Amino acid sequence: MPRSPTLRSRVPFFARLKELRNAFSRTSRARFKARDSNDPDMLDIETHSLGVNLNMNRLSQLSQYSNPSSMLTLTDHDYGVPLDIPAVYLAQSEATPHVPVSTHELPQRKPRITISDLPFELLARIFYIFMFSVSKPHLMDPELEDVIATVFSHNPTSAPLLFCQVCSYWRNVAVRTSELWSAMHIWESMDIRILETWLKRSESHPLSMYVSMNGSPTLCFLADDDDGKALPRHTVIRNQRIMQLLYDNISRWTHVAFHMRTSKDLRDLVFAIMPSGSRGKSPAKLLQYLHLSACLNDPADYDIELRSRLSGLAHPALRHFSSSAIGLFPDTLRPGANSNSVNASTTQGAVLHSRLNSNATPLWTHLLQLTFEGETTPAVLRSFFEACPNLRFLYIGTMKINIRHRSSPNSPTPPTIAHNLLVLIIDRITGDISAPFEDFVAPRLKGLFLSDYGHPSEWFHPNPNACATLVRFIELSGCDLESLCIKGFGIRITTLREEFVRELVGVSVIRRVPNVSLEVREDLCNAETFCEAFMTEMVPGGRGALEVDAAYAVRKVKRRGDVPVFHVGWGNLHSERPGARKGPTATWSLVIDGL
């Protein structure tokens, strides 16, 4: 007895079952002819009197993928007229007549390929791209790529350990690909065996490391329970073993950031990078990026020998130096400076400027990027340009402006020329926002990003010529500025007010800049009319052509409790990340926390 056919249906199951039982009853069969008896691909079949024809082209194709006893699948498209039944499964048996098939040959079905079927080299490349491909659209110079470094912590839920948990093949590929283990996050309390394993798997590949030896695995300050007391002996021994493992691989360092616990620890690190008698040749011969900081910082630990060794660090690979260690950074610009001036240099940048000679040391001569996260002055800013002739990128954490420091128009000083500077970022200006630009020019400048935080010394002495000074700097530089970003967050009286914006936007040299972003506190302007005035008066009314459609004016609140700000300008400049910097702390911490 032939088996009953099976149908898929959208109608209730029992109703369809009853219909099928009646339709395929052996006593109620009816024979129907094909529409075209001359068509060799049409066949007479016995079925319920639904008045349909089967297309044997489809049936022939299906028969090539099934043996005679298997189940054949037919859909609505296999019939000459539509069916209410979505799919019909007909079972062949001895009682079913032989169905002639078409002679048309079909291509063989291609085998299914998954990612685990890929060759070793290709899968390893996919792993590498997944881990290290970072978009850098904000960089204005493609050569400034070592601003960004990616490191990975020992976390089973993130790469590369995550690859090892998928299957044995993925684990084999991940373990044998040394590049995946060459970027590591190292912290004070980590297991020594973990560090040894990563170093072993990285083989001889160059290393990128984010080292936190300050009691906190991701932050640049001491843990909450660390009040500066002496560490337990077992912790000291473990830290020494960790650092010794790193020193044993110093020849492979490329991008390294060290956040040490004390300034003495930082001093030992510098001596390891520049050992005694090295004559300017460091064992870290591949080093491209170096960041130094200490949580318990004592400038007295930075003696003449330390600054001299650091200043004499000379090899062609180093391109980016960064530091937030107070007392270490400024005096290293001139080796052999009097040790008594260390404390003075942390507060008075003019001391350094008066001592600086024209013979720049090798470290600063080769630098392309310089990041100083501490507090400095316009005098130190100019000393950076004098000592670093090839400098392209400069980030200043805090610029302290003293009203007495302004240049007198009756006794102008010759301007300092930053010949190769492309990007200048001053993250916090405590005072007149135009003061840093009185005594230097930058002919190749592409991006200028400033934040005006105001200062008590400026409350009753605002500079009415701030806009004119800034415009004069751009005009004297003769640069093709591409991006200008100025933010004002002063308490009450700051440079960046509505009058400053109105004057700045009306100048032709500013209107030629493709991307301009200005932020003004709501309480420093006419909140009801500022946005409308910017779009209808300031933008169309200035000197020089400007695409009005590219301008914008919006009100926003960054965080709850903050004073709202007006964000105005034109172009595509991102106000939060203006387009030139991802500093070591923000970038590296983000990678560690995100993974």
User: What are the distances in angstroms from CA 551 to CA 504, 528, 531, 534, 569?
Assistant: 15, 19, 11, 9, 6
pLDDT score, position 40: 41
> What is the value of pTM for the model shown?
0.67
Cα R_g (the chain), whole angstroms? 36
pLDDT, tens digit only, all 595 positions of the chain: 444 333 344 445 556 556 655 654 544 444 333 344 444 443 343 333 333 343 444 434 444 444 433 333 333 333 333 334 333 333 444 444 555 555 555 566 677 788 888 899 999 999 998 888 765 544 444 444 444 567 888 888 888 999 999 999 999 999 999 999 999 999 887 889 999 999 999 999 999 999 988 754 444 444 444 445 567 788 888 888 999 999 999 999 999 999 888 888 888 888 888 877 666 678 888 888 888 888 876 666 666 677 777 776 666 788 888 887 766 654 445 433 333 333 333 333 333 333 333 344 566 778 888 888 877 778 778 877 887 888 898 888 888 776 544 555 554 667 888 889 999 988 887 767 777 887 888 999 999 988 866 544 444 345 677 788 888 889 999 989 988 888 865 444 445 677 778 888 888 888 888 888 888 877 767 777 777 788 877 777 655 556 656 788 888 776 666 677 788 888 876 555 544 333 333 333 323 333 2
The Cα–Cα gap between 592 and 365 comes to 33
In order, the DSSP letters of 393-447 are: EEEEEEEE--GGGSPPTTSPPPPEE-TT--EEEEEEEES-TTGGGSSEE-TT--E
Distance CA 513, CA 546 (A): 9
Report residue 292 CA to chain centroid gap: 21
CA–CA gap between residue 544 and residue 508 (Å, rounded): 5
Hey, is 173 helix, strand or coil? helix
Within 8 A by CB and 6+ apart from 104, the residues are 57, 60
Report DSSP letters for 53-111, one per residue: -BBHHHHHHHHTTS-TTSEEEEEGGGBSS--SSSEEEEE--TTSPP--------PPPPP
Domain boundaries, the chain: 6-91, 182-361+377-388, 392-400+419-595
Render the burial of 260-280: b for 16+ CB within 10 Å, e for the rest.
bbbbebbbebbebbbeeeeee
Q: Which two tokens mark 258?
A: 């060290």
48 Rama class: left (phi>0) / alpha (psi -120 to 50) / beta: beta
Query: What is the bridge-based pairing of β-strands 447-452 and 423-430?
Result: parallel
pLDDT at residue 154, rounded to an integer:
83
Q: Is the peptide bond before 335 cis (omega within 30 degrees of 0)?
A: no
Within 133-183, where are the H helices?
168-176
Q: Which DSSP state fits 152?
A: B
* Coil/strand/helix, residue 519: strand
Res 1: pLDDT:
45
Identify residue 83 by its one-letter amino acid code: L
